[in-house]
Structure 1
Amino acid sequence: MSISAAGASRRPTVAEAYASCEALTREAARNFSYGIRLLPPDKRGALSAVYALSRRLDDIGDGDLPDEEKLAGLAGVRAEVHGLGENSSDDPVYVALADAARRFPIPLEAFIELADGVESDVHGTTYETFDDMVGYCRLVAGTIGRLSLGIFGTEAAANNRSAPAIADALGVALQQTNILRDVREDLIGGRIYLPAQELKAAGIELSVDASGHLGGPPVALLGYLRSSAQRAEDWYARGMVLLDLLDRRSAACCGAMAGIYLRLNRRIKNDPSAVLDRRLALPGWQKAVVAARSLAGRPETSAA
């Protein structure tokens, strides 16, 4: 779902624009909404606007339009971001984002990088090495970490020149979990994100059988997924340092969003067969527990 101004008779007020973005976030951000709701209203609205545009880019990449139209859609988003605040767009996403960018040091150029990452999906780009895959993760998820940091921002974060790199690392960690969780679904859709060199070295040729079960062969595939989840957890350890640089509410938000993915990552590490025939997800009560722990200052930072 994306927010569109199609058919709108007037430009929405800033309050209406934020309300639209927050409604989208509650409906579509099945994991991130648990963290976003822990923020105070101004930051919650700003991060919802960031999510709304990020989701729109994702929808363009994953949609059913011809590639030429997808690329045109991405170009349109880039143009809107470059001109943000200089035109009078009646699109609620851009109205809210322009206001958020006036009030917070949001690195808007990260949206251009995110669009570049989505464009690589449109082109069906594959990745030879782990470093190549990390480069993709930085475009589609490290950017979200840096955009969020602009809203979370505290004096401690502003004075730490490593803060953007730490936020970037946390985004890379989350995207690695996404790739492991969605490996079957992505393969059915014709996409492979796992590094080709690593798969070849492990003797894995990904396939989906008639029953929709991921194969590869099984022993090698399960071992590879397990070790990849452990590698992702190392990235979480690097990225979760960010929480120490944030105020309590921002740390709670960040800890909840990252903690849900970290718990999911541990599920994959402990039982990689869980992703072979379905899209793995945490039940709502577990997400709520992670959010509550984060709000209480006890985020998921150590191995379970």
Structure 2
Amino acid sequence: MKRGVNMPFTSGSQSIRTSPRLQAALTATEEVIRKHSRTFFFATSLLPFPERLAIRSLYAFCRASDDLVDCANTTPADLEAWRARVNLPSEQQTDPILLSWALVREQYPIDRQYEGELLDGIAMDLSFRPYPTWETLQHYCYRVAATVGLLSIPVIGLAPGVTFEQAAPYAIRLGIALQLTNILRDVGEDADRGRVYFPLEDLARFHLSMKDILNHVYDERFIALMQFEIRRTRQLFEESLPGITLLSRVARPAVGAASLLYRAILDEIEAIHYQVHEKRAHTSAWKKISMLPKILYCVSTLERPSSLHPARFPETAG
């Protein structure tokens, strides 16, 4: 672990209790997560204290960056100014969320290449263009979501003898599956912003157009499209599961919870008969709690991959 002057993300850290500035930063990250992702909040609650704070800081940074480009008045210059602020060290940060994230970077061996790729992906939404193929959508999902998993690995840790290169392909698959779940859940909200994330080749396969999605068309063609995309997403979740065994033991329940709870959102989409234009599929607090025994059992019975040779996820290239 990279250790700097500030070590706020340690169990019982004195700096958290004695620094009003740091307390304000961590409070801000908690508020962001509680407001925007109860599923993520629940899953990260299963992490030990230091990792929980650090991962929530990462999520809050991602959310703040995403919110910036969702604002109608944001320009490319605004995003570049945000990048410059992100790059500042913790002692120069004035934004509480950027302060929290800067402290994480200074404490853990974060590869900032992935931070840059994440911001590149978020910039793709600033000048939104349709995705012609599944491969181009995968590349977007890699940038905005799989990079989050890659940034998380140095924080949550790996099992003894496992390298980053061995764990990364599984983190990439999980990140893409999580983002696809968000896309399927938010079809209506995105359409209202003028965005359609379905690959154009998939729309054509089911005799649909972007205009149909923007107009909230709901018929047998749309249902067939959703069923197709859900099968694809579930396959990615399934392929990512063995990678949980490559993580540190303390991280496995939280990552397993994120995976299974997001898969449950796909079940909820089916339960509302794919009416995602009008309804938002979600898992209730009670369902999250009731799924905990299943999550812990699943994590404890996963089999480690038979081969740990590094494997590339080629579809993200480009």
**If the TM-score is normalised by the length of the shorter chain, which range does it land in?**
0.7 to 0.9
1:271 positional shift: 5.8
Aligned match of 2:306: none
Q: After the TM superposition, which residues 233-244 of structure 1 pair with which residues of structure 2 at under 5 Å, given as runs?
A: 233-244=234-245
Work out which of the residue numbers 52, 63, 66 in structure 2 matches 1:58.
66
Q: 1:158 to 1:18 in 2, by over 3 A?
A: farther
Could you list the per-position Cα deviations for residues 135-188 of structure 1 after superposition, in whole angstroms to 9, with x for gaps in the alignment? 111111111111222211124474252212211110000111111111122112
Work out which of the residue numbers 144, 148, 153 in structure 1 matches 2:152.
148
In structure 2, what is the Cα distance between the partners aligned to 1:196 and 1:84? 42
Identity %: 27
Secondary structure at the aligned position of 2:116 is classed as: helix
CA contact (8 A) 1:290 1:299 kept: no
Secondary structure at the aligned position of 1:90 is classed as: coil
Aligned match of 1:38: 46
1:244 positional shift: 0.7
In structure 1, what is the Cα distance between the partners aligned to 2:189 and 2:235? 25
The amino acid of 1:187's aligned partner reads A
Aligned match of 1:77: 82
Aligned match of 2:176: 172
Aligned match of 2:109: 105
Aligned match of 1:219: 220
CA contact (8 A) 1:43 1:152 kept: yes
Aligned match of 1:7: none
CA contact (8 A) 2:244 2:299 kept: no
CA contact (8 A) 1:49 1:97 kept: yes
Q: 1:155 to 1:101 in 2, by over 3 A?
A: farther
Q: 1:262 to 1:139 in 2, by over 3 A?
A: same
CA contact (8 A) 1:39 1:250 kept: yes
In structure 2, what is the Cα distance between the partners aligned to 1:243 and 1:99? 26
Aligned match of 1:191: 195
Q: 1:100 to 1:67 in 2, by over 3 A?
A: closer
- Figure out how many residues of one structure are paired with residues of the other and give that number: 284
CA contact (8 A) 1:157 1:245 kept: no
In structure 1, what is the Cα distance between the partners aligned to 2:34 and 2:279? 24
Q: 1:207 to 1:279 in 2, by over 3 A?
A: farther
CA contact (8 A) 1:137 1:172 kept: yes
Aligned match of 1:20: 28
Secondary structure at the aligned position of 2:196 is classed as: coil
In structure 2, what is the Cα distance between the partners aligned to 1:84 and 1:239? 34
Q: 1:300 to 1:186 in 2, by over 3 A?
A: farther
Q: 1:221 to 1:99 in 2, by over 3 A?
A: same
The amino acid of 1:76's aligned partner reads A
Superposition TM-score, scaled by structure 1 size: 0.83
Could you list the per-position Cα deviations for residues 99-141 of structure 1 after superposition, in whole angstroms to 9, with x for gaps in the alignment? 2223322233322212211211110221000001101111111
1:51 positional shift: 1.0
CA contact (8 A) 1:117 1:140 kept: yes
Aligned match of 1:3: none
Stretches of structure 1 lacking an aligned partner (at least 5 in a row): 1-10
1:269 positional shift: 5.0
In structure 2, what is the Cα distance between the partners aligned to 1:263 and 1:47? 22
1:299 positional shift: 4.9
Work out which of the residue numbers 93, 97, 103 in structure 2 matches 1:89.
93
In structure 2, what is the Cα distance between the partners aligned to 1:12 and 1:109? 31
Which has the higher mean CA deviation after the structures are superposed, 11-20 or 238-247?
A: 11-20
Aligned match of 1:202: 206
Secondary structure at the aligned position of 2:38 is classed as: coil
In structure 2, what is the Cα distance between the partners aligned to 1:266 and 1:144? 24
1:256 positional shift: 1.2
